[in-house]
Chains A and B, each alone.
Chain A
Amino acid sequence: MKPGSSGLPVWLVQRVAAVYMLLFLPFIVWSLTVRPMHSHSEWRDWVTNPAMTVALCFFILALLSHMWVGLRDVLLDYAKPPVVARVSVMLLGFALLLLGGWVLEILVKARL
């Protein structure tokens, strides 16, 4: 694929992320219903389970990727002129990276 051919990979990322979230969210709801958490230590035990940590990381990655593609599409369609769209997409990417970093920080600190 030639440089700048970002249509298909981006479209695919959004759909794969959507499928993952579609499977993960009911699992989370079921998990919290079956074993509700009443304290920080219970939450920490749940989140620091290695499998859950990995699954949550993937979920956050899927969520942020899905958000990025969706909001990028809105900006590419509606933000004019094109330079405003490009700058807005870059700022959006930066903001989502910060969010992702924040979530990672929470997960790392929970393990410490």
Chain B
Amino acid sequence: MQDYEIELVAGDTMLLDVLLRLKRQDNTLTLRKSCREGVCGSDAMNINGRNGLACITRVMSLKEPVVLRPLPSFPIIRDLVVDMTNFFKQYHSINPVLENHDVPREKERLQSPAEREKLNGAYECILCACCSSQCPSYWWNPDKFVGPAGLLQAYRFIVDSRDQATEARLENLSGAYRLFRCRTIMNCAEVCPKGLEPSHAIEKIRLKMLGVQSGAKEPDVYRRVPASDTGLP
């Protein structure tokens, strides 16, 4: 660990602003960043013990001293940069591609508003890895357990009305490790910077495996909307 002292100046709204000023002070400090607005997921890190995105974490909300660590359990490349290889390997293992083998139509494959609504709470994932990195089950078996992010994306395709590979997707997750390491600890939902709930999606996949259809009128996966998205102070 290395200690830094830095005075906040006008314009230091988000943690990323401070980190970039810190980098001008010490240019050996290494971190990933890109969009600076919470949509790319590059600057995911552990901030005072809780995973989050540096670019949308308000500096004034942080208790001092601010302790920054790389994402837990991921191999560290340097400073705050981690190796995401296994995370993306698990993501690709769920086949994150729409499988539809019908003859392509002249226009798009249509969905009803209700069918489209089922994707809400799943498609918004930015693959920042905050969830998987905070999941104890993923810590113990990162090579076998798909993890919350991968399982949320699996759910996104399972529930897509245009996808024709539901059986194969469920079969892919049926082993002892792939999905069923999930203990519903719910760290994933707690730390997701987009307000998504992978644990709820995982439960929905289990019900799908059981052949239980959710008949409720509400959207299939609840989505907590972060306050910043509502326009509320």
Contacts and interface: CB of A to CB of B under 8 A. Distances in A.
22 contacts: A1-B174, A2-B174, A4-B175, A5-B171, A5-B174, A6-B175, A6-B176, A7-B175, A7-B177, A7-B179, A7-B180, A8-B174, A8-B180, A8-B209, A8-B210, A12-B210, A73-B183, A76-B141, A76-B176, A76-B177, A77-B141, A77-B181
Nearest to B178: A7
B171 A2 contact: yes
Interface string A1-28: 1101111101110000000000000000
Given A77-B137, A77-B140, A78-B140, A7 B210 contact: no
Contacts of A1: 171, 174
A101 to B, nearest CB: 26
Nearest to A1: B174
B173 interface: yes
Interface of A: 1-2, 4-8, 10-12, 73, 76-78
A14 B173 CA distance: 18
Interface of B: 137, 140-141, 171, 173-181, 183, 206, 209-210
The dominant DSSP class at the B interface is loop
A11 B177 contact: no
A10 B180 contact: yes
Nearest to B173: A7
A7 B141 CA distance: 15
Contacts of A73: 181, 183
Contacts of A8: 174, 180, 206, 209-210
- Top 6 A-B pairs ranked by shortest CB distance? A7-B180, A5-B174, A77-B140, A6-B176, A8-B209, A7-B176
Contacts of B178: 7
